[in-house]
Amino acid sequence: MNFDWNYLFSLALYPDFWRATALVAWLGVLTWVIGTVLGFLLALARQSSLRPVRWFAKTYIWLFRSLPLLVLLIFVYNLPQFMPALGPVLSVPFWAGLIALVVSETAYLAEIHRAGLIAVDPGQHEAAHALGVRPVGKYRHIILPQAVRVALPSLGNEFITIVKLTSLVSVISLAEILLVGQRLYTRNFMVLETLVAVSFYYVLVVSVFTFFLSRLEGRLDISRMTGAEIAIPAANAPIGATSNQRRIGEEIVVELAHVDKSFGDKRALADVSLKVRKGEVLSIIGPSGSGKTTLIRTINALQDIDKGRITLDGNDWITADAKGYRMVPDFHDRVTCLGMVFQSFNLFPHMTALQNVTFGPRYHGNRDRQAVRAVAMSHLARVGLAAHANKYPHQLSGGQKQRVAIARALAMDPEIMLFDEPTSALDPELVGEVLQVIEGLASEGMTMVIVTHEMRFVSRISNRVVMMENGYVVVDMTAEELEKSPADSRIQKFMRQS
Ligand code: ADP
Ligand code: MG
């Protein structure tokens, strides 16, 4: 028996095949889109802090990844036997097929999304929190755009799997590509020729989709996003050019009273009480693991506490007692008065420097694009980066990234700036530029709490120094007291070692 090329070529124009191809493409795309959306929600549920929600998601994924699609298809198609009300929908093979495919694929797609969600740096959640972004906004603007970029190649792969799985829908007599082929070769017995045509149509659907997906991947590829430098007239004075305006008032901006926090047996904060006055620059120093980071993170609730009270401008802010841990109800709106700068910058990688800075004000409801942009540009100018406004974080050096992060915090017009080791992730030659910006802020009178190993902060800009050891505040003195303290005192010894 000879291979019948003429018959094969005639199948290229066989209308039933083209109809079936359109059907497979449509069924595949619908399954993929619906499954991708539901899968994302399921992946979020899988990470929920609510145990029943987590349990539901886990069980769903376990069950529908274990069930063969064929079983599910026949099950769904026959469901109207028990529930006649479902008949009008489920006895249509297309809908029954779509529902079975979506139910099954959602479980796989959820796991792909979960991998994407896990890949997003936890610092991104923290930066969003510090900018007062609520969960829905956080996932929409910050986490989802990054997670989807990670997940996209695997999501695309899953589409191909879906297209191939549609061939199973022939068991419930949906006229998809394979069934059209089967109907042909059971009549003419030209099995191989027909199957070559069947393969051609599947490859066609997959190729078209892969083409569009790779274009989408290319467009979303952060490393390929570049912004050019802008020519800026030298008129804008960067931070530090202003005169010394420091005046320390009596007004207390932040107060911690008897704050305690343990991690298991480790007491990270032990009965810590601390007041920060308006205009003050407070440095927190101490050996590694002494609780400095934990302390600063409790102020904006990045870290919960076991016991104690934190007030902001004399008002309730955070309380922890026998009744549990509580933040004020309007926490997300008010947290913006605490500008946070992280050790590892935590810039949003999919946004330009300017977008990083405008994001907070825009999220918090400032609709005047031009005004927000102008203010953001002035903050970037303050940190000496106006020329780099259109660059993405991956195009900036560590010191520049940290200065953008400072501008991002300043854009929320904070009452107090919190810095957690702002220079310790930087190469030594880049420390100076960040130090200069922070010094400039100090001379403008900004209230600041700086956790640091950098003794230049302590000696050059702080009015007060707090030293921690094993969770306790062991020294709390003014800059003058520090200067006069004896050379063999605990703090002087520590400062010499660092
Ligand atoms: P520092 O910033 O002074 O180096 P930290 O505040 O980071 O210290 O940590 C204080 C102590 O609390 C350390 O012993 C650290 O291991 C512990 N700790 C901090 N965060 C956590 C956490 N999330 N889980 C468990 N232990 C933690
Ligand atoms: Mg630390």
* Distance (Å) of CA 149 to CA 30, 120, 186, 214, 396: 20, 10, 45, 12, 21
Q: Which ligand is nearest to the CA of 289?
A: 1
Residues of the chain with CATH 3.40.50.300: 252-497
For residue 73, what pLDDT is reported? 93
CB of 265 sitting under 6 A from ligand 1: no
- Tell me the two tokens of residue 29: 């795309």
Residues forming a β-bridge with 308:
320
Task: Return the ligand 1 atom nearest residue 288 CA.
Answer: 4
Question: What CATH code is assigned to 252-497?
Answer: 3.40.50.300
CB of 294 sitting under 6 A from ligand 1: yes
Question: For the sheet containing 416-420, what is the strand order?
Answer: 338-341, 416-420, 447-451, 281-285, 464-469, 472-478
- Tell me the two tokens of residue 174: 């949906």
Q: Separation of 285 CA from ligand 1 center, angstroms?
A: 14
Q: Which of 272, 290, 302, 449 to mutate to test the pocket of ligand 1 (most atoms within 8 A of CB)?
A: 290
Contact (CB, 8 A) for 448 and 442: yes
Contact (CB, 8 A) for 174 and 23: yes
CB of 289 sitting under 6 A from ligand 1: yes
Per-residue pLDDT of the chain (498 residues; tens, 9 = 90+): 688 899 999 998 899 999 999 999 999 999 999 999 999 999 999 999 999 999 999 999 999 999 999 999 999 999 999 989 888 888 889 999 999 999 999 999 999 999 999 999 999 999 999 999 999 999 999 999 999 999 999 999 999 999 999 989 988 888 889 999 999 999 999 899 999 999 999 999 999 999 999 999 898 888 888 888 887 765 555 555 444 556 777 889 999 999 999 999 999 999 999 999 999 999 999 999 999 999 999 999 999 999 999 999 989 999 999 899 999 999 888 999 999 999 999 999 999 999 999 999 999 987 788 999 999 999 999 999 999 999 999 999 999 999 999 999 999 999 999 999 999 988 888 888 999 999 999 988 999 999 998 887 788 889 999 999 999 999 998 888 888 888 778 888 888 777
Stated length of the chain = 498
Ligand 1 atom 24: residue of nearest CA: 263
CA distance 467 to 472: 8
CB of 297 sitting under 6 A from ligand 1: no
* Distance (Å) of CA 351 to CA 122, 125, 391, 473: 17, 15, 9, 39
Give the 3-state secondary structure of residue 2: coil
For residue 484, what pLDDT is reported? 84
Pairing of β 416-420 and β 266-277: unpaired
> Of 150, 153, 169, which is closest to residue 31 (Cα–Cα)?
169
Q: Which of 259, 261, 293, 450 to mutate to test the pocket of ligand 1 (most atoms within 8 A of CB)?
A: 293
* Distance (Å) of CA 333 to CA 301, 371, 416: 13, 20, 15
Ligand 1 atom 12: residue of nearest CA: 268
The pTM (predicted TM-score) of the whole model is: 0.89
Q: Does domain 5-220 have CATH number 1.10.3720.10?
A: yes
- Tell me the two tokens of residue 302: 């990045």
Q: Which ligand is nearest to the CA of 286?
A: 1
Q: Which ligand is nearest to the CA of 290?
A: 1
Residues forming a β-bridge with 281:
448
- Tell me the two tokens of residue 296: 């600063």
Rg (CA), the chain: 30
CA distance 30 to 14: 25
CB of 263 sitting under 6 A from ligand 1: yes
Contact (CB, 8 A) for 446 and 382: no
